[in-house]
Amino acid sequence: MKSNQRTQRRSNPYAQSPRPYSAKVLDGPDRAPSRAMLYPVGFKPEDFSKPMIGIASAWSMVTPCNMHLDQLAREAEAGANAAGGKSIIFDTITISDGISMGTEGMKYSLVSREVIADSIETVVGCEGMDGFVAIGGCDKNMPAAVIAMARLNRPAVFVYGGTILPGCLTGQNRHLDIVSVFEAVGAHAKHRMDDQEFQAVESCAIPGPGACGGMYTANTMASAIEALGMSLPNSSAQNAISEAKKEDCRRAGATVVAMIRRGLRPLDIMTRRAFENAITVVIALGGSTNAVLHLLAMAHACNVKLSLADFTRLGRRVPVLADLKPSGRHLMSELVAIGGIRPLMKTLLDAGLLHGDCLTVTGQTLAETLAAEKPYPPGQTIIAPLDRPLKKESHLVVLHGNLAPEGAVAKISGQEGLRFEGRARVFNSEEQAMEKILAGAIRKGEVIVIRYEGPKGGPGMREMLGPTSAIMGEGLGKDVALITDGRFSGGSHGFVVGHITPEAFVGGPIALVKNGDRITIDAEQRLINLHVTAAELKRRRKAWKAPRPRYTRGVLAKYASTVTSASLGAVTDLNLSL
């Protein structure tokens, strides 16, 4: 990797010009038509000599996570222009997991990561932008933006749109968020919540703009990207509606211009050691299992070798320190109030758990950016001290066994226990499982198996927040396990195992499970085994028939035809040579 970086620096186009890409599009008499197209969108003659800075905004009114990003894009635009660049704002798509969860529409969620990355790459590459800021609010926006940054390798900064504030019920000292609503579904189905309270939770849980408020996937990925060095200090821990977030955007715009002048590019920053920093911070925060999928894909885009084994290796030495939802008690907005993730990172750095020599978008090393950080205030209960962790090893546990030869990812906080053994209850779709869960047909001691929901089989690898939340709402969180070749929302908790590979659609062992089969999940031994003889599995495999593709046209069909295994990050770039 070091020799690769030296080659990049020797051939760095910014060493000769701050406008290596826009000059090709805009300079010279023959480019007059190109310049003419830009006068109507706000260019003046003097702007054509400035670096062109893209502002990629994932704004839309599809979801509260992104509804304010148009305002933040204007702040980033102002910051870049004031620093000597000329900005152009453009949009990319977003989808809402929270709205589509549990429906056929959720199959488009992971697909959107590829669409967003492709669209940012397309606009920046086509228009000859010299650098860009990407602003994302919902969780797929974030890894997608970083993947585009890696592919283009032009100076870039990621800005997180910020976390939502908690909702609350009138007269109750009780914080609500989107997971409160999902869990209320199970409680209401079990008659543990009446209609009036159910409607009150639904209407009060989401008070305004910002991403889901716990250490779910959005806040997890924002923290990972900051630890990776691709966003400014504190960008991951700011409320969506705040002066701090506006200033973050202005500084991001200026930082891209400064990166152009330095010749500092994303692949100088996103090294293997930087990815190890990101994994370490995700573990310490008790972050989402989706981080495994996304960090593998981001590393692939950077030509950095990263595998499931790295999560196991780092997980043996990094403890869980954050008492944050869904397994913990606190929301991200509470962590923001005591200083965000920076004091935690300083603690990890001082303990030798972070690589302080990694570069960041500021031009400083990680250690330099953390040098002046002060500890959390005395008496806070959100981040545990290093010598008294909530869990001594990672909650993200990679399992192997005859049920997952290529690996699976479990989220084990320790509250649900470390070992589960039970009889399989098999469903060939999320809807089939959800129907039985809400009907009260699941029994204690069962292992719910939801299959044909993998990257190819779904297609799209839906998140199982509905089933896991319904289980918790019904009070069965410690009494049943759920395994799937799909994935989980960052809001899922309980004894859950996802990303089982190979997936059922390609004939993985999960396709061969039958009702009543005994399954053991052991987080300490990192095993997931189906108690069926090899001879019986061979017989079942011979009788198994591959299902027909569920989609034969459109984006889902294209995705299914190109996507790789979840154990590789479910990437669609078929050039797998590193």
For tokens 């925060």, what's the residue? 285
CA distances from 443 to 123, 388, 480 (A): 52, 36, 8
Task: Exactly one of 489, 492, 565, 567 is catalytic; name it.
Answer: 489
- Half-sphere exposure (Cβ direction) of 291: Cα atoms closer than 13 Å: 39
Q: Distance (Å, rounded) from C-alpha 260 to C-alpha 53?
A: 10
Q: For strands 518-522 and 527-530, give the pairing.
A: antiparallel
Helix/strand/coil percent split, the chain, to 5: 45, 15, 40
Burial 67-79 (b: 16+ CB within 10 A, else e): bbbbbbbbbbbbb
Beta-ladder partners of 449: 426, 483
CA distances from 453 to 131, 505, 537 (A): 38, 8, 21
Closest Cα partner for 407 from 576, 575, 569?
569
Tokens of 541: 């495999």
Q: Distance (Å, rounded) from C-alpha 474 to C-alpha 444?
A: 11
Tokens of 399: 């399992």
First CA to last CA distance, the chain: 10
Q: Distance (Å, rounded) from C-alpha 157 to C-alpha 270?
A: 12
Q: Distance (Å, rounded) from C-alpha 96 to C-alpha 105?
A: 10
Burial label for 202, CB within 10 Å (0-12, 13-18, 19+), is: middle
3-state SS, residue 460: coil
| Annotation says 489 is catalytic | yes
Burial label for 317, CB within 10 Å (0-12, 13-18, 19+), is: middle
Q: Distance (Å, rounded) from C-alpha 65 to C-alpha 222?
A: 13
* 335 close to 284: Cβ distance less than 8 angstroms: no
* Active site positions, annotated: 489
